[in-house]
Amino acid sequence: MRLSFLDPLYAEPGPYASVYLDTSRDVDHPERAIAQRWHRLRESLSRQGADGALLDVLEGVVGSDTEVPGVHGQAVFAAHGTLVLDGELPRPPEHDTARYSTLPDAMPLVTQHVPEIPYLAVVVHYSGLPTAETHGWVTLEAETGTWPASTVTPGERLHRRVAVATWHRTCVRLGHRLDELARGAHADAVVVGGDVWACNVLVRRLPAALRGKVVRVGGRTPTDTGRALLEEQLGGVFRDHMAAHDCDLVDAFIARRALEGPTAEGLPATVAALQRGQVAALLLNRPPGASARLWAGSRPTQLALTEAELTSFGVRAPGEERADEALVRALVGTGAELVVVPEGELRLRDGVGALLRYADPAPPP
């Protein structure tokens, strides 16, 4: 997955306040519940050293996602009295957290975007009998997104209302429009739900390339929830899957490793490649735990396993930071991608590896 959505997070130097909290609106008196959660987090940040101006900036944003219905969460980051990022979470955090630290606590936000699968969702409903003589209507709603993040940040929708008598003919034109949307979104799948007859007519008239990506789903297909089309079904389609783009990166890593090509595996080799800005994509079996540490300087590529290594590079006063925070900053700062790959797909030494932009020069004979 690409991490460009985190670029604004590093526009300001640290220290950062990183807040994750449940802002679900599916409970009685949600605003009161959110305010109580925030009060506890504000007190925690104050004890950690955050000043009043920074806390006031956060307070002005926390719980402001009133237009997002249902179950979800919010991730908010601020530094030096400035809001640097406000992100929606497709599911609430397991625990509300607030951290004031040199580097932002960005990994929980990143993992809520995994596996970042692009898709096109289509819902079709009709009223009346499916015959040419019927004076009913067929309605089509279509929406591109990236699962799971877009479940709470749905994009612009295509809406069409077509007379049943012309539905067969109109589907040909609609198919080409849907193909344009899918191509523009680089959709891995086209998830189609709704009334069986109308869906059958549409799917049979889609362009062949698009028809091959169709996944039919059943169940309720409401279109007015304020959340993503087919939200309930998307999880069943995409859970435990990887995005096609990420699968390609994993395949490239395996092929290059077999040929001793430009890859790194294991934490020491991967950190060394990040120091050189050499990493095109970082592969993780799982994000590092909170206890894992790296030493870091003020720049994204200034990270190492030991303090001595960084000081040998001329880095002054490096700090010991959480490994996940240092790794995310390095990836964003060097434009590298992140792939979370299950061990069942690819077991990596130390749980980490990298697809490199170039190979190291061969040593002289």
pLDDT for the residue 364? 58
Q: Is the pLDDT of residue 249 over 70?
A: yes
Phi and psi angles of residue 349, each rounded to the nearest 5 degrees, phi first: -65, 130
pLDDT for the residue 130? 53
Percent over 90 (pLDDT), the chain: 91
Token readout for 45 is 């940040």
Cβ 17 vs Cβ 45: under 8 Å = yes
Token readout for 349 is 């030494």
pLDDT for the residue 65? 93
Cβ 232 vs Cβ 219: under 8 Å = yes
pTM score, two decimals?
0.92
Closest among 66, 58, 64, 56 to 18, alpha carbons compared: 58
- DSSP string of 229-281, one letter each residue: TTHHHHHHHHTT---HHHHHHHHHHHHHHHTT-SEEESHHHHHHHHHTT-EEE
Helix crossing, 167-185 with 196-204: angle to 10°? 70
Token readout for 67 is 């237009």
Residues 257, 283: Cα–Cα separation, whole Å: 13
Q: Is the pLDDT of residue 131 over 70?
A: no
Cβ 73 vs Cβ 92: under 8 Å = yes
pLDDT for the residue 51? 96
pLDDT for the residue 238? 97
Q: How confident is the model at residue 365 (pLDDT cuts 50, 70, 90)?
A: low
The residue type found at 70 is: G
Question: Strands (DSSP E) along 23-90, which ranges?
Answer: 73-79, 82-89
Widest pairwise Cα distance in the chain: 83
Closest among 160, 204, 213 to 186, alpha carbons compared: 213
Question: Residue-wise over 99-138: b if at least 16 C-beta within 10 A, else e?
Answer: bbbbbbbbbbbbebbbbbbbbbbbbbbbeeebeeeeeeeb
**Model confidence over 273-289: pLDDT tens digits?**
999 999 999 999 999 98
Q: Is the pLDDT of residue 12 over 90?
A: no
SS3 53: helix
Token readout for 34 is 């959110």
Lowest mean pLDDT among 178-187, 192-201, 250-259, 355-364: 355-364
**Model confidence over 74-118: pLDDT tens digits?**
999 999 999 999 999 999 999 999 999 999 999 999 999 999 999
Residues 75, 86: Cα–Cα separation, whole Å: 6
**Model confidence over 167-204: pLDDT tens digits?**
999 999 999 999 999 999 999 999 999 999 999 999 99
